[in-house]
Amino acid sequence: MAEIAGWSSAILFGLSLVAGLMWQRYRFLDGGFLPVTFTLAVSAAMAENSSISWYRFYSYSPDWGIFIGHVPLHVVMIWPLFILGEVRYIREGLGLGSYKRHPHQGLQLQAALQASFCFVDTALLANLIEVYCVSAGLWSWKQENCLGVPWIGALGWALFATPAVIMVSLLEDVPWGWTWAGCLLLLPFLCLMVLHVGILVIWNLGGGLRSAISPWQEAAGILLLQLLYHQATKGLKVSLHLSQELPRILACGIVAGLWLLKGRQGTDHAGVIMVSAASLARMLAFEWR
C-alpha cells in the first residue's frame, strides 16, 4: 500500500508542478481558466467512462486507488492540462488560431489548420505516453499494435482533444460572457460525438490498424511522421522555443519516470527506448532557449 501511495502522490505532485507552470506561462482565457479547466475535466470523465463501458477495450489498474466511475481521478485531472498545453502550443508555438490577429485567413481555414496540426501532434505525443504507461502497468489494452499499445488508443486521444482545442482556442477571441457559457455547455457533447463517431469509423474501415509490428518499425514510422510534421511547421514560418514546451516536457518526464520506476518484467525496454527516441526527435525542431 505504501508503494501505491508513493507513486500516486508523486503523480499528484507532478500535476501540481505542471499546473503551476501553466498558470505562470499560459496566461490566457480572459478570466475563464477555472471554468474551462472544470469543463474539460468533466468532458474527459464522460469520454473515458463511456469508452470503457461501451467498447471494453482497455482498463485501468486498480492500484490508482481513487476512481470516478472507471477512470482514475488523476487521469481526469491530467486531461485539462494536456489540452490547455496543446492550445498554447497551437496558438503561440505555431501561431495558429487567433482570428483577430489573422482575419484575412478566415475562420474556417484557421480551424482546419488547427485541427490538422493538433490531431497529428496529439497522436504522436499520446502514443509515447501510452507506451510509457502501459509498460508501467498503469493501464492495459485487449489488443495491441506494438509494445502493448494499439494505434486506435492514440487516435482516440486525438479525436477527443482536437475539437476541445479548437473550441477553447475560439473562445480566447471572445469576451467572457454568455457566449462562453453556451460554448462550454456544448463542448462535452461535441467532443463525445467526434470521439465515438471517429472511433467507429476508424475501427470499421481501418483494418490495417490492427496489424502487429515491431518496435523498430514503429520507431521508423514515427520518425517519418515527425519529419513530415516538421516540414509542415516550417511552412508556417514560426520559431518554436523550447521554453514554451516546459510544462509538456515535465508531464512527459513524469510518465517516463513512472516507466523507469514501475516497468514490468517482460517489457521490451529496448523497444520502449527506441520508440521514445523517435518520438522525442521533435525536440530538435525547437530553438534551445
pLDDT in tens, 139-193: 999 999 999 999 999 999 999 999 999 988 888 776 666 667 788 889 999 999 9
Q: In angstroms, rounded to a whole number, what is the distance separating the alpha carbons of residues 107 and 227?
A: 28
Query: Mean pLDDT, the chain, as a whole number?
Result: 83
Grid cell in block for residue 58: 482497455
Q: What is the pLDDT of residue 152?
A: 94
Nearest CA-CA partner of 269 in 113, 142, 121, 148: 148
Q: In angstroms, rounded to a whole number, what is the distance separating the alpha carbons of residues 74 and 71?
A: 8
171 contacts 32 by C-beta, under 8 angstroms? yes
First to last CA, the chain: 42
Grid cell in block for residue 187: 463542448
Q: Is 102 a residue whose pLDDT tops 60?
A: no
Higher pLDDT, 26 or 191: 191
Q: In angstroms, rounded to a whole number, what is the distance separating the alpha carbons of residues 201 and 37?
A: 29
Q: Is 8 a residue whose pLDDT tops 60?
A: yes
DSSP 8-state class, residue 263: P
Could you tell me which residues are beta bridge partners of residue 146?
149
**Low-confidence winner among 53-62, 91-100, 134-143 (lowest mean pLDDT):** 91-100
pTM: 0.88
Q: What is the pLDDT of residue 1?
A: 40
Q: Is 138 a residue whose pLDDT tops 70?
A: yes
Q: Is 277 a residue whose pLDDT tops 50?
A: yes
